[in-house]
Amino acid sequence: MKKDHRMKHFLLDNNTYIIFLALFLICCIISDKFFSYLNLRNILLQQAGPILVSVGMLMVILTGGIDLSVGSVMAVGSSMTAVLMTRMGVPWVAAIGFSLAAGIALGTLTGILVAYLKFQGFVASLAIMTIARGIAYTITNATPINLENGTLNLLTAKEYGYPIILIMIVIIVIFVVIETCTAYGRLVIACGSNIEAVKLSGIRTRRYLLSVYMISAALSTLAGVFVAARSNVGNSTIGEGQELDAIAACVIGGASLAGGKGSVTKTVIGALTLALIGNIMNLLAVPAYPQRIIKGCIIIAAVLLQVLTDKNKE
């Protein structure tokens, strides 16, 4: 009886991982191209950006907020880096630095609107989303900017061990540690559970709210840089709809949009789950438009499972 109970809880607690593994196995079975070094490496190269965006989104969602601006901020990251490198001759590493600063400035703006001016996260980030996209279009004239070989694309180079994958892994580890082992992570979650109670406990809640939007923007900018590195093109149109994928990754990973509940590792797995779905459909040559329909249905199924899990736990 008790053992059964434990088993059930184990399965419910880890359903994100179990689904991912099951999906992975299914992919291996239905396509012989799936389980190859090349394909798996490509998935990771492709997903390094989106995964970071999802982690940033999770931080915001943990506080009970939402950040719709991530896709546009990605575009700012990609465009600004390219513009600085090509038109102003800034070395590529410095260009990334400046772009990050710009991205974080946008996140700070969202954060100030939410934390100090009491905007809802949805509204504040909606406005910043529009502004950021506008900035990306303006500085590039909405045209793609080709980059010189041997600069930004070094970030995806095999001989350096695919730096963007390494950076992604390091960042994930950092955020797992922040989430589980620091007071900061603990209090971000606390803010999402009951912000008034946290405030009355003598904690400066506004700083936590502000900081998560800055983190989200920083990771999104970096994701934009990754996309530019992979294609070696600075582009103002990337990241459209990325916010939805990021939110979906968090939710598949068991996060609650009400705040206070979610996990970094599970969100990463959530993002990878979405990636697998996209990848296997490409391998099976499912046309792009129906792909979206299938993806949407799978998101519903995943979330439904989370809801059922919560009910079962009660």
Partner 1 sequence: MEKKQYRLEMKNISKQFGGIRALDHVSVEVKPGEIHALIGENGAGKSTLIKILSGAYTKDEGTIQIDGERVNIASPLDAKNLGIAVIYQEFMLAPDLSVAENIFIDRLSDKGKLINWKKLNSEAKERLESLGFGNISPQKKVGNLSVAHQQIVEICKCLTHNARILILDEPTAVLTVAEIGKLFGLIRLLKQEGVSIIFVSHHMNEIFELCDSFTVMKDGCLVGCGKVDEVSQGELVQMMIGRELTQMYPQRGAKLGEVVLKVEGLNVKGRVKNVSFEVRSGEVLGFSGLVGSGRTELMRAVFGADKKDSGKVTLLGEEVDFKEPKHAVEKGLGYLSENRKSLGLLVNQSIRINTTMSSLEKVKKGCFINHKKEKEYVKGLLSQMSTKYGSMEDDVSSLSGGNQQKISFAKWMSADCKCIVFDEPTRGVDVGAKVEIYEIINSLAKQGVAVIIISSEMTEIIGMCDRALIMAQGRITGELDKDFLNEDTIIKLAMEG
Count residues binding partner 1 (CB under 8 A).
24
**Which CB atom, from 41 or from 313, has the smaller least distance to partner 1?**
313
Report in angstroms how near the CB of residue 199 gets to partner 1 at its nearest. 6
Binding mask 3-42 for partner 1 (x = CB under 8 A): --x-------------------------------------
* 146: phi then psi, degrees, rounded to nearest 5: -75, 140
Q: Quick one: which segment of 54-62, 195-203, 215-223, 272-280 binds partner 1 (CB under 8 A)?
A: 195-203
Q: Give the three-class secondary structure for 233.
A: strand
The footprint of partner 1 on residues 257-296 (CB under 8 A) is 260-261
The CA distances from residue 81 to 134, 219, 236, 288, in Å, are 16, 15, 11, 30
CA–CA gap between residue 264 and residue 216 (Å, rounded): 13
User: In the bound complex, what is the minimum distance in angstroms from residue 218's beta carbon to partner 1?
Assistant: 19
Closest to 75 measured CA to CA, from 213, 220, 271 = 220
State the minimum distance, in angstroms, from the CB of residue 19 to partner 1.
Answer: 24
For residues 138 and 201, which CB has a smaller minimum distance to partner 1 in the complex? 201
Query: What is the Cα–Cα distance from 213 to 57, expressed in whole angstroms?
Result: 8
Residues pairing with 177 in the sheet: none
Decide: residue 55, CB within 10 A, 0-12 exposed, 13-18 middle, 19+ buried.
buried
Rounded least distance, CB 9 to partner 1, Å: 10
Pick the binder of partner 1 from 203, 257, 283, 286 (CB under 8 A): 203
Residues in region 105-164 near partner 1 by CB under 8 A:
none
* Tokens, residue 38: 């090349």
Q: Which is nearer to partner 1, 33 or 186 (CB)?
A: 186
> Three-state DSSP class for 108?
helix
Is the Cβ of residue 187 or residue 248 nearer to partner 1 in the bound state? 187
d(CA 78, CA 220): 10
Q: Which stretch binds partner 1 (CB under 8 A): 38-46, 119-127, 198-206, 228-236?
A: 198-206
d(CA 150, CA 156): 10
Taking the complex as a whole, the smallest distance from the CB of residue 241 to partner 1 amounts, in Å, to 31
Residues whose CB is less than 8 angstroms from the CB of residue 199 and which lie 6 or more positions away in sequence, other chains included: 205
Question: Residue written as tokens 């809880």?
Answer: 9
Site stretch for partner 1 (CB under 8 A), options 97-105, 134-142, 189-197, 288-296: 189-197
From 29, 101, 142, 183, residue interacting with partner 1 (rule: CB under 8 A)? 183
159 vs 314 by CB, closer to partner 1: 314
Interaction of residue 93 with partner 1, rule CB under 8 A: no
Among 36, 199, 290, 308, binds partner 1 (CB under 8 A): 199
Question: Quick one: which of 200, 297, 301, 304 contacts partner 1 (CB under 8 A)?
Answer: 200
Residues 6+ apart with CB under 8 A from 286: 294
Q: What DSSP string runs through 204-229? A: -HHHHHHHHHHHHHHHHHHHHHHHHH
Residues in touch with partner 1 (CB under 8 A): 1-2, 5, 177, 181-183, 186-187, 189-190, 193-194, 196-204, 260-261
